[in-house]
Amino acid sequence: MSTDITPSNAPRMKRPKRGVPEGLWLRCPECHAAVFRKDVDRRLGTCPECDHHFYVSAMDRIVQVLDEGTFEEWDADLRPTDPLEFADKKSYRERLVDEQERTGLLDAALTGTGMIRARRVAFAVTDSAFIMGSMGSVVGEKLTRLAERATTLRASPTSARPLPLIIISGSGGGARMHEGILSLMQMAKVSAALARYHDAGGLFISVLTNPTMGGVAASFASLGDVVFAEPRALIGFAGPRTIKATIGIELPDGFQTSEFLLEHGFIDRIVPRAKLKSEIARVIDYCGI
Ligand SMILES: [Zn+2]
């Protein structure tokens, strides 16, 4: 798996993708309209009636955001282990095999390099279909290596600046409980690598998609020089139900949505999926890289 990841050569899913049922038609969870799947696909996985943003897999995201055929995966062979021999309803070892077969991914992140409108970038995406996109050791290690590699590479032969870094997060799980402290330490590890990247003059654009929660929101996803979010994404640390149950008061309307967080200064811009590629290219140019 190196340069040409496309939906057609992606591994076949055993079960339907989360959030996007199979079939010619699908029901939009937002406006409840029955919409033609082809129309949704043509609009990069958004509802033609209400612009609801459906889940997209990491591989589809690469196709949507990077120039065709430019993705080269880094650290493709990193695979998770089960150091704690953790078991809940089933053993973590078994769960990993099931998730790998279902999603075609070895873990919840893909990292590498590619071009966005002919600008070279270091690129990562996390996939919420793989154990909620949670950050275990492999996700943390891949993102750390990505930031470190971007720090050493130049944006162009004539540039003194590091390669721009784009991370699209779709992580509802935060840290991965199956890996305990080894998962928690990834927050500090990735953040430290991003700090060194920042000191070297790098431009990090963080793109938050539905959902971005827990230890992911509390580490790399919030550390972008520029933070974009897709419309109406759920973004926060603890979930709204947990917060409500803990503090016992009504939460404000739209709490933990992109729109709420834009209003409160936590993110810089809401970018619809169709404009994401152009907006990233525009910010890279604006920052003079
Ligand atoms: Zn809709």
191-202 pLDDT, tens digit per residue, is 999 999 999 999
State in Å: Cα 267 to ligand 1 middle.
Answer: 24
pLDDT at 23 (0 to 100) = 81
State in Å: Cα 26 to ligand 1 middle.
Answer: 10
Average pLDDT, the chain: 92
State in Å: Cα 254 to ligand 1 middle.
Answer: 18
Q: How many angstroms separate the CA atoms of 185 and 83, rounded?
A: 14
197-220 pLDDT, tens digit per residue, is 999 999 999 999 999 999 999 999
State in Å: Cα 257 to ligand 1 middle.
Answer: 17
Q: Is the pLDDT of residue 17 over 80?
A: no
Q: Which residue is associated with the tokens 């999603």? A: 103
State in Å: Cα 35 to ligand 1 middle.
Answer: 8
State in Å: Cα 99 to ligand 1 middle.
Answer: 29
104 band by pLDDT with thresholds 50, 70 and 90:
very high
pLDDT (mean) for 139-155? 97
State in Å: Cα 31 to ligand 1 middle.
Answer: 4
State in Å: Cα 40 to ligand 1 middle.
Answer: 10
Q: Can you spell out the DSSP letters for the chain?
A: --S---TTTSPPPSSPPTT---SSEEE-TTT--EEEHHHHHHTTSB-TTT--B----HHHHHHHHSPTT--EESSTT-----TT--BSSSBHHHHHHHHHHHHS-SSSEEEEEEEETTEEEEEEEE-TTTGGG-B-HHHHHHHHHHHHHHHHSBSSTT--SBPPEEEEEEESS-B-GGGHHHHHHHHHHHHHHHHHHHHTT--EEEEEEEEE-HHHHTTGGG--SEEEE-TT-BB-SS-HHHHHHHH-SPPPTTTTBHHHHHHTTSSSEE--GGGHHHHHHHHHHHTT-
pLDDT at 9 (0 to 100) = 40
232-241 pLDDT, tens digit per residue, is 999 999 988 8
State in Å: Cα 198 to ligand 1 middle.
Answer: 39
21 band by pLDDT with thresholds 50, 70 and 90:
low
Q: Which residue is associated with the tokens 């933070």? A: 227
State in Å: Cα 57 to ligand 1 middle.
Answer: 19
Q: How many angstroms separate the CA atoms of 274 and 285, rounded?
A: 19
pLDDT at 2 (0 to 100) = 41
State in Å: Cα 37 to ligand 1 middle.
Answer: 12
Residues in the 5 Å CB sphere of ion ligand 1: 28, 30-31, 47, 49-50, 52
State in Å: Cα 230 to ligand 1 middle.
Answer: 15
State in Å: Cα 159 to ligand 1 middle.
Answer: 44
